[in-house]
Every structure is written in structure tokens, then in C-alpha cells.
Structure 1
């Protein structure tokens, strides 16, 4: 079993005494009864990932924020401080299996920010990151089975909310499919797409639930 605590990296970066970038990066730290070495490796995975995100903030976003702040000042435009916020949600944590997703929100001073989602499902006994094919018995026809369900779900959703998906969604769900874009829940799997992949910004991150056998279908 895994016990999860939250670690945080955060800072406010200034330029000429003006806060141009704020970042907060939350990431999980695990203790587990399922394996010491595997737990150490998984913790290192999130530590490295978080430090890379911080480096991106300090070296890339900060330089861009400073440039925009100077331009705004020189042209007497209002400047909206940049923001980077990363947080995780644990969706399944039973026995030696833990599944979670991480949403990285970046605001660059425009009308709204953008969110990028990543997810992992871990077997703490082996240290292996589980794949989507581990949860489907018929891997040969996996993609066709997934796309058929997603296309049917979108068709139903469009009846209630027209224009909530792009008109060419049958092609987009195939072209933008990410085999790693899933996370585990108690009774099934959620497959998701990134913002703008198959739907307008207002639709958020589209999610589609695939229940396990003998489980009642639920809303993601």
C-alpha cells in the first residue's frame, strides 16, 4: 500500500521589483510496503520531473516574461504577470497500484491560460509503469474498440451540447490519440485528450470512461 505526501517547489521571480512570474509545482512523494527500491525509483521520477519544470520556469518562462514586461512598460501597456501551476490528482491507490495525473497550467498574460495533462499508473512491486494494453484483453483491436466508444460518446454529448466538439472529431480522435493518455479509477479507465485536440477550449480536457467488467459505468 502507498502513502502519499505532497512536496512543493515555488517562487516569485522579479524584474525591476515587479513580479513577472510566479510558479508552484506540487509533486507526490511515496512510501510503500510493496518495494523499497521501486519506491525510491518512482520518487526520483517525480523529483526529476519537477526540477525540470522548475528549470523551464526559471530559464525559459522568466526570460519571456521579462521581455513582455519591458515591452509593456516601453509602450505603456498593462502587463499581466506570468503563472505556472502544476498539481497532481491521485485517482487510484490500492494494494501495490497507484494511478495519478498531473495538470500543468501556464498563463502567459493572454485571455486565458492553457493546461497540459500527463498521467502515470505504477506497479510498486515491479516499479513498472503500466500501459493501456495491460488493461485490455484484446490488444490487436484495441484502437478500433476505443475509437468506436469515444465516437459514440461524443455523438451523444453533441445532442446535449452542440458545438462542444470540432466537426471533424472522428478524424481527430484517431489522429490525436495518445496511448499514454489514460489513468485508472476504481471501476475502470479514463482516456483523455489534451485541450484543443478534439474540442474547443471551453470543453476543457475531454475524458472518456471505460468500465471494467461487472462494474457500473460512471461519469469521468
Structure 2
């Protein structure tokens, strides 16, 4: 079993007296009763990724914010600080398996920011990640089955007018599908798409639950 602790890298960066860029990067740190070396390895992975993101903030995004703020020497109208925020959610944590997703929200001016989601499902015995195909045993055509189920679900949602998708969503589902874009929940596997992949911004990040054979897939690992 894993215990998760939150760690954070954060700073407010100034140009003259103007806070032009603010970042807050949350990331997980793990202890585990399964394999301590695997726990350290996985924790080190997230610490390194957080440090990379912090370097990106300081070396790439902060200069862009300074350039924008430099056009307002008197800070009138007041400059709206650019931001980068990273949060994560643990979606499954049982025995020696932990699944989570991370969302990086960046605002660099404009009407709204952008969110990018990444996800990982870890085996804390081996220290390796599970792949999506691990949860579709004995189905070599699992991706085609996924597409068919997602397209059918989208059609239902559109018929109910609960969500709206681009007209050519069937083509887009196939073109933008990423086998790494999944996470586990106690109810099954959730496959997701990024903003704008298959639907307008207002839809956020579309998600699709596959509750099939979840327990069997986990017990076979």
C-alpha cells in the first residue's frame, strides 16, 4: 500500500515591482509497503519532472511575461500575472497499484488559459508503469473496440444535449487517441482526450469510463 505526501515548488517572480509570473507546482512523494526501492524511484521521477517544469517557468515563461509587462511601464492598466499551476489527483490506490493524473494549467494572457493532463498507473513492486493494453487482456483489437465504444457514447451525449463535440468527432477520436491518456478508478479504466482534441473548449477534458474486467485485469498483474 502507498502513502502519498504532497510537495510543492512555488514562487512569485517580479519585473520591477510588478508580479508578472506566479507558479505553483504540486507533485506527489510516495512511501510504500510493497518495494521501498520502487517507491523511491517513482518519487524521484516526479521530483525531477517538477524541477523541469520549474526551470521552464523561470527560463522560458517568465521572460515572456516580462516582455508583455514591459509595454506598461506605469502598470496601467494593471498587468494580470501570468501563471502556471500543476495539481494532481490520486484516482486509485490499492495494494501495490497507484494511478493518478496531473493537470498543468498555464495562463499567458488572452481570454483563458490552457490545461494539459498527463497520467500514470504504477506497479509499486516492479517500479514500472502499466500500459492500457494490460487492462484489455486477450483482445488484440482493443483500440478499435475503444473507438467504437467512445463514438457510441458521444452519440448518446449529443442526443441528450448534455455535451457537444466537433462534427467530425469519429475521425478525431481515431486521430487524437493517445494510449497513455488513461487512469484507473475503483470503477474501471478512464480514457480521456485533451482540450480541443474532439470537442470545444467548454467541454473541458472529455472522459470515458470502461468498467469491463477491471478486477480480473488487476488480479492478473
- 1:44 aligned residue: 44
SS at match of 1:190: strand
Rounded to whole Å, the distance in 2 between the matches of 1:163 and 1:46 is: 34
Rounded to whole Å, the distance in 2 between the matches of 1:37 and 1:56 is: 29
- 1:190 aligned residue: 190
Q: Cα distance, 1:76 vs. partner? A: 5.7
CA distance 1:93–1:163, shift in 2 (3 Å): closer
What does residue range 70-85 of structure 1 map to in structure 2 within 5 Å?
70-73=70-73, 78-85=78-85
Rounded to whole Å, the distance in 2 between the matches of 1:132 and 1:63 is: 39
SS at match of 1:104: strand
SS at match of 1:129: coil
- Alignment of 1:206 onto 2:206: yes
SS at match of 2:71: helix
- 2:132 aligned residue: 132
Q: Cα distance, 1:77 vs. partner? A: 5.4
Rounded to whole Å, the distance in 1 between the matches of 2:163 and 2:2 is: 42
- 2:167 aligned residue: 167
Rounded to whole Å, the distance in 1 between the matches of 2:75 and 2:175 is: 42
- 1:156 aligned residue: 156
Rounded to whole Å, the distance in 2 between the matches of 1:214 and 1:163 is: 27
Q: Cα distance, 1:138 vs. partner? A: 3.2
Rounded to whole Å, the distance in 1 between the matches of 2:162 and 2:121 is: 34
CA distance 1:87–1:57, shift in 2 (3 Å): same
Q: Which moved more, 1:51-60 or 1:137-146?
A: 137-146
- Alignment of 1:91 onto 2:91: yes
- 2:104 aligned residue: 104
Rounded to whole Å, the distance in 2 between the matches of 1:78 and 1:138 is: 59
Deviations along 1:64-88, one digit per CA (max 9) or x if unpaired, are 0000111244896552210100000
TM-score by length of 1: 0.93
Deviations along 1:178-215, one digit per CA (max 9) or x if unpaired, are 01000001120000000000000000000000003388
User: Does structure 1 retain, via aligned residues, the 8 Å contact 2:157–2:163?
Assistant: no
- Runs of 5+ consecutive residues of structure 1 not aligned to the other structure: 216-220
- 1:34 aligned residue: 34
CA distance 1:90–1:163, shift in 2 (3 Å): closer
The list of structure 1 runs, each at least 4 consecutive aligned residues, that deviate by more than 3 angstroms after superposition, is 72-78
SS at match of 2:54: helix
Rounded to whole Å, the distance in 1 between the matches of 2:85 and 2:75 is: 29
Rounded to whole Å, the distance in 2 between the matches of 1:23 and 1:16 is: 18
TM-score by length of 2: 0.93
